[in-house]
Amino acid sequence: MKKESDSENVFIILGPTSTGKTSLALDLCKRFNGEIISADSKQVIKFMDVGTGKSPVGSEVLVEKKDMCWKVNGINIWGYDLVTPDEYFSGYDFAKFALKKVRDLQESKKSIFVVGGTGFYIDLFTGRIKPSCVGLDLELRSSLEDLPLESLQVRLLNLNPMVYKGIDKKNKVRLIRAIERETLRGLGNPGFSDTVLNYLSNESNKYNFIHLGLNGPRELLYKNSDAWVDAIWSMGLIEEVKALIDMGYRDSPKLQGLVYKTVLSFIDDKIIEKDAIQRIKYDIHSYIRRQMTWFKKNKEIKWVDISQDGYKKIIYNDIERKL
């Protein structure tokens, strides 16, 4: 393992949704001359701002949208708006983007805060896990996207019962990727080359990743996320989805993800407003539980309870010592 003195420090601010990660990171950037790299698989998508949490809620915030970046209250957040809803973007694509951005920011003498709730992205970026050794088949993926959830579940079960047992069976995107992997393995697909895998490994080994996790009582997280859902429902979420439909993205798998699939059902008169809002809240509660299940596998995370007084001071002091 690298000693801290041998490597540049990169701070990872992670945790489940509704723990205030971005708000905290913006404060940290002001204190320590930093910039943010977003590690969120939903926030890389253009035109999907309200339902992914890119658009701030509940406070007056100055936002300037730039190329691959938003400037929020004068602080750059990199990793927003990287692809359109119909473009493919993998965890490997994120890791490659983020590692290059870290290198650029360090040359500018910036403190770096990687912030997000997508544990898979974070673990690829830090080198805790490696990209799948199986490549892509966009034609296969396109055909799978038209299948209902139940058909995907059955197909993966038949391909590999062990993989099926361990996967999130309600996550259509992950089911599709798992089916793609198992199908291509059967065909002997070579996937990523050693050169690609070595590149990620060599880049991530240059840095000392300091994992700081925000968590709290489950009831508090649910309360915070419920308040967020109420806020975005009234601040343009439905209009955002209608705009995406008008742009031709109705059939994009991205609109079958968290929040957006229920809004589509509401727009299509398949569910009433009250039930739609409640369904989104329940879906996010479930998502919070899945996030924590993933993060608990990483024993390097120093957890801080956001329900405790002075929790921000603990983080400020910890980062100040490292810098």
Residue 21 marked as a ligand binder: yes
Residue 166 marked as a ligand binder: no
What's the CA gap between 255 and 273, in Å, rounded?
Answer: 18
Residue 262 marked as a ligand binder: no
Contacts made by residues 274-283, CB under 8 angstroms, sequence distance 24+:
277/229, 277/230, 277/233, 280/229, 280/233, 281/222, 281/225, 281/226, 281/229, 283/258, 283/259
DSSP per residue, 110-179: -EEEEEES-HHHHHHHHTSS---SS---HHHHHHHHTS-HHHHHHHHHHH-HHHHHHS-TT-HHHHHHHH
Residue 20 marked as a ligand binder: yes
Residue 293 marked as a ligand binder: no
The closest alpha carbon to 35, from 97, 100, 106, belongs to 106
- CA 130 centroid distance within chain: 17
Residue 204 marked as a ligand binder: no
- Backbone φ and ψ of 31, nearest 5°: -75, -35
48-80 core/surface letters (b: 16 or more CB in 10 A; e: else): bbbbbbbbbeeeeeeeeeeeebbebeebbbbbb
Count of C-beta atoms within a 10 Å radius of residue 220: 15
Residue 286 marked as a ligand binder: no
Residue 19 marked as a ligand binder: yes
- CA 190 centroid distance within chain: 27
What's the CA gap between 36 and 69, in Å, rounded?
Answer: 10
Q: What is the largest CA-CA distance in the chain?
A: 59
Query: Residue 38 in 3-state DSSP?
Result: strand
Residue that the structure tokens 């956001």 belong to: 306
Binding residue positions for ATP? 15-22
Binding residue positions for substrate? 17-22
Binding residue positions? 15-22
